[in-house]
Amino acid sequence: MLFNSYIFIFAFLPVAYVVFWALRNTTARYIWLTLTGYVFYGYWDARFCLLMAFSTLVSYGAGLGFLRWSDQFRRKLCLVVPIVVDLSLLAFFKYANFGLETTQAILHVAGIDVRVPHLNIVLPIGISFYTFHTITYIVDCYRGVIRPTRRFFEFSTYVSLFSQLVAGPIVRFRQIEQDLENIGTTSRTKWLERGISFFAIGLVEKVLIADTISAFVDPALAQHQLLSTAGTWMAMLGYSFQLYFDFSGYSTMAVGLGYLFGIRIPQNFNSPYKALDPSDFWRRWHISLSSVLRDYLYIPLGGNRGGEWKTYRNLLITMLLGGLWHGASWTFVVWGGYHGALLAAYRAWGKTWDRLPAVCRRIGMFGLAVVGWVFFRSASFTMAAEILHRMFVPTGGLSVAQAPLAAVALGVAAWWAMVGPNAFEMSHEYRWRGRIVLATGLAAGLAIIAGSRSSPFLYFQF
Amino acid sequence: MTSAPASEPADVSVSARTHTSPAQYEQASSHGKSQDHRRNLLLRLSGAFALIVVFALTFELTCRVEDWVMYRMPLASPYRSVEDLIIRDADGMHGRPNAQFQKWIMNNVGTRGPRASLLPVSGTVRIITVGASETFGLRESPGHEYPRQLEDSLNARLRNGACPARADLRVEVLNAAFAGMTLPTIQQDVRNRLVRLHPAVVVAYPSPASYLEAERPVAARPDSSPNAGVIGSRAMLHPRAIDRLRDQLKEMLPTAIKSWLRQRETDAARAGVAGPLFSTPPADRLSAFEVDVRQLISGIRAIGSAPVLVTHANAFVGRRTIDGDKLIAWEKFFPRTTGATLVAFDSLSRSVEFSVAAESGAVVVDATRRLASAPDSAFADYEHFADLGAALMASAIADGVLATEPLARICSRAQAHFGN
């Protein structure tokens, strides 16, 4: 079920909302939210609900273990066992074929030709996200950052909360713990307007901006080998904005949905294309992921505490794994490595970069991000090389379809992403003029979904 | 919005205090409050109404802009559905020239596809496809209906040496089908209208199920009145938003509920029908089908074209399990019969086409068999093709078209010429 579908907006959400607020009891609301999460998730494939339930049980059990035992050995066991279980599931479903194919390629280079079977595995949607939810919970319990919950349904609500289940943000338990505790007494009207507003803004970002851009980007990149230099740049700029508005739109809708149920989900995008340098970019892009990578990988690796070279190494390892998290493909690893290299380079020569005027740094950082998206978007290195070649070596060829319309869409997207306010910077207390703008955006978004253009969110594949 | 009305009760109270007793003051004050409350309510209601109007207008405008962006459909187009792309005039019933509804674009001669001249361009063999919605192309993505793919497939084969001596030979396919086009209507269209387009080959893909209605099909009556087929300008005001919302509502319903509703509708229709109900394939209707196929072949030959008959394919023949939901959806359109009869009648009509073709020497393409071994994804529903099914159809029909006399003659003459 997609947020940008009529079944979600006019059937699932109203039922989930009305029943939730009709229930007065905290536990009943936990159970209801858990149930809605499983219905929402099971709409894609009911079998995967079992997987999520298993992961939830294991992590919840580990939490109880932390409460019960204080000796280091058993606490470590409570830390390691569930993380191994969660990562094994993720590894199997997401990376098994990738691992087998890579092994085959390495053996082939070594002169050993072995036919490795291709496993017929369906990637459970959102597994990367809820695995991170459970892992961050376990690690925080182990570190003593949070006190594990005894209430099973509170924990299951946290894992299966439909607003952040399949594509994040990666919300840590401590970030919503207080709202979950107060779920039985929270006010329905307090955040209602804010919730609707965030949801509508997210819908506009996704449906009006991202999907409109995808209508010319997707066909153009499908024939990337025929595009001219201008056409390739247009397609890649389009993809950069499409990806941002798609994911940011999803996150904004998730925040809005959270508000509707009295849960404050943190900001995931803070206008990343306004970033002035690589470090700033990662403070603004997919904030929940980059902060998880920082707190649970980069800092445990040593962070910047072991000298320059170790810092560079830690940055690279963190970003390479961050790239791999996005997808089981070497192009994602290279994308991660590219950003790791940018972060390391900024650390080395940042003072020189910072002397440039702000507008140059912003445009420069955006350009660097666009180059990175080439690897992110490409299905293979051949495709990435072809696109990069056409971007940087003047080449004749086709332009994108409906170029004037595409240019208008790009202009609007560029303004909003690089100059305009993001959803968290907007006011959500509306007078009539604001309400009319909101109604206009909502109507336009719903009209487009009512056609046949509603498309899945790009980050669902991760 | 709230500050202006809030100041008014204060004025009322001042005037009340100066000229009235305390009791009268209380009364005036409560009267003022109630007036204020009413005004606030009125303001809120008009505000909500304004929001609804803005919402509805934006919704409608967005639908129209999107249709323009996606399909270049004019903002004020009078065409509201695929049915509007059909016209009934002095020639009978056929495609409406230059009409467009979303992805379905009719050309200047009233066939679906790119612009065409009345006479075929020199060096081009013209083929016309006739049939109902399966041929017109309801469910395929634009440009992937089988007649378009047939043109691509034939031209690719010609380029790759299917007619080695005439490498420059090209094929043009005009799609003269429309939803609900029956065999008698096809005959009439061939005789009255398609003859003017000078096709070398006419590919006919009849829908046998139309013989399971109350009456056997007859040709649509021509209409020579001056206003025949005119769509009023008020049609352009028809809200497209409503159509989209209706479609969405249908989409939202789970398949089981949709099937249940269809079944109910079919049962109700069955209960209310007078005339025959077909629990087995009716022999008289099969004979009528045979007669009409024979007449069609003669009619096509009479205008100097070569006929190609294509047997009807559906989503049930050759499948290990029958998709009950699809069958219920098919039954809904033919409530006089059962799903099993529809499938059986389709299979019998295939035999009829084979025997008629054998007797008359027409080329027959066995689409039934070709599609029976295709994946389920070849069909978008019980009989309409998805892109894959249309591609398989195009490939099968291309074989048949290349075997027709006009193509064989052109290629052999050229070969002889080049041989000399």
Task: State pLDDT tens for residues A383-431.
Answer: 999 999 999 999 888 888 888 888 999 999 999 999 999 999 988 877 7
Q: B170, B171, B189, B172: which is closest to B180 by C-alpha? A: B189
d(CA B264, CA B270): 10
Question: Least CB-CB distance to A436: which of B54, B244, B249?
Answer: B54
- Are B56 and A443 a contacting pair at CB < 8 A? yes
% residues pLDDT > 70 (chain A): 98
d(CA B331, CA B269): 11
Task: State pLDDT tens for residues A99-123.
Answer: 888 888 888 888 888 887 878 888 7
**What pLDDT sits at residue A190?**
87
Task: State pLDDT tens for residues A291-348.
Answer: 999 999 999 999 888 888 999 999 999 999 999 988 888 999 999 999 999 999 999 9
Position A180 confidence tier, pLDDT thresholds 50, 70, 90: very high
**What pLDDT sits at residue A288?**
93
- Are B50 and A442 a contacting pair at CB < 8 A? no
How many Cβ atoms from other residues are within 10 Å of residue A432's Cβ? 12
DSSP-derived 3-state class of residue A17: helix
> What is the average per-residue pLDDT within A250-270?
94
**What pLDDT sits at residue A328?**
84
d(CA B150, CA B158): 12
| Structural contact between residues A202 and A173, judged by C-beta atoms closer than 8 angstroms | no
| Structural contact between residues B313 and B371, judged by C-beta atoms closer than 8 angstroms | yes
Number of Cβ pairs < 8 A linking chain A and chain B: 65
Quick check: B241 contacting A, CB < 8 Å? yes
Q: Where are the beta strands (DSSP E) in A235-372?
A: none
- Are B62 and A447 a contacting pair at CB < 8 A? yes
Q: What string of pLDDT tens digits covers the 420 residues of chain B?
A: 333 444 444 444 444 445 566 677 677 777 777 888 888 899 889 888 999 999 999 999 999 998 998 888 999 999 988 999 999 999 999 999 999 998 999 999 999 999 999 999 988 999 999 999 999 999 999 899 999 999 999 999 988 888 877 878 899 999 999 999 999 999 999 999 999 999 999 999 999 999 998 889 999 888 888 887 788 888 888 899 998 888 888 878 888 888 898 889 888 888 877 777 888 999 999 999 999 999 999 999 999 999 999 999 999 998 888 888 999 999 999 988 999 999 999 999 999 999 999 999 999 999 999 999 999 999 999 999 999 999 999 999 999 999 898 888 888 754 433 332
| Structural contact between residues A332 and A299, judged by C-beta atoms closer than 8 angstroms | no
- Are A450 and B245 a contacting pair at CB < 8 A? yes
Q: B149, B215, B172, B200: which is closest to B396 by C-alpha? A: B149
Residue carrying structure tokens 């109630």: B34
> What is the average per-residue pLDDT within A165-192?
88
Q: First CA to last CA across chain B, in angstroms? A: 94
- CA-based angle B320:B326:B332, to the nearest 5? 140
d(CA A310, CA A318): 12
d(CA A233, CA A18): 47
pLDDT for A251 beyond 90: yes
Residue carrying structure tokens 């690893």: A333
Quick check: A387 contacting B, CB < 8 Å? no
How many Cβ atoms from other residues are within 10 Å of residue A21's Cβ? 18
Q: What are the phi and psi torsion angles at B105 (to 5°)?
A: -120, 120
Please report the residues numbered 249 through 268 in chain B whose beta carbons come closer than 8 angstroms to any beta carbon of chain A.
Answer: 249, 251-252
**What pLDDT sits at residue B20?**
60
Residues 6+ apart with CB under 8 A from B3: none
Instruction: Examine the predicted complex and report whether its ipTM is higher than 0.90.
Output: no
Domain boundaries, chain B: 3-71, 82-225+233-419
Would you tell me the crossing angle of helices A330-354 and A358-377 to the nearest 10 degrees?
A: 170
**What pLDDT sits at residue B13?**
44
**What pLDDT sits at residue B19?**
56
d(CA B243, CA A450): 9
Q: What are the phi and psi torsion angles at B324 (to 5°)?
A: -60, -40
Task: State pLDDT tens for residues A13-47.
Answer: 999 999 999 998 999 999 999 999 999 998 888 88
Predicted TM-score (pTM) of this structure: 0.79
CATH number for domain B82-225+233-419, candidates 3.10.20.30, 3.90.25.10, 3.40.50.1110, 2.60.120.620: 3.40.50.1110
**What pLDDT sits at residue A460?**
55
| Bridge partners (DSSP) listed for residue B13 | none
pLDDT for A453 beyond 70: no
- Are A451 and B60 a contacting pair at CB < 8 A? no
Question: Least CB-CB distance to A432: which of B1, B66, B252?
Answer: B1
DSSP-derived 3-state class of residue A47: helix
**What pLDDT sits at residue A126?**
83
- Are B241 and A439 a contacting pair at CB < 8 A? no
Q: What are the phi and psi torsion angles at A16 (to 5°)?
A: -60, -40
Max Cα–Cα distance, chain A, nearest Å:
72
Rounded to a whole number, what is the distance in Å from the CA of B200 to chain A's nearest CA?
Answer: 35
Count Cα neighbours of A160 within 13 Å in the Cβ-side half-sphere: 31
Please report, for residues A41, A124, A236, A370, B40, the alpha-carbon distance to residue A460 in angstroms, rounded to integers and kept in the order given: 12, 10, 20, 21, 46
Mutate to test the interface with B, among A39, A412, A452, A453 (most CBs of B within 10 A): A452
Question: Least CB-CB distance to A447: which of B51, B69, B241?
Answer: B241
Pull the structure tokens for residue B405.
């006399």
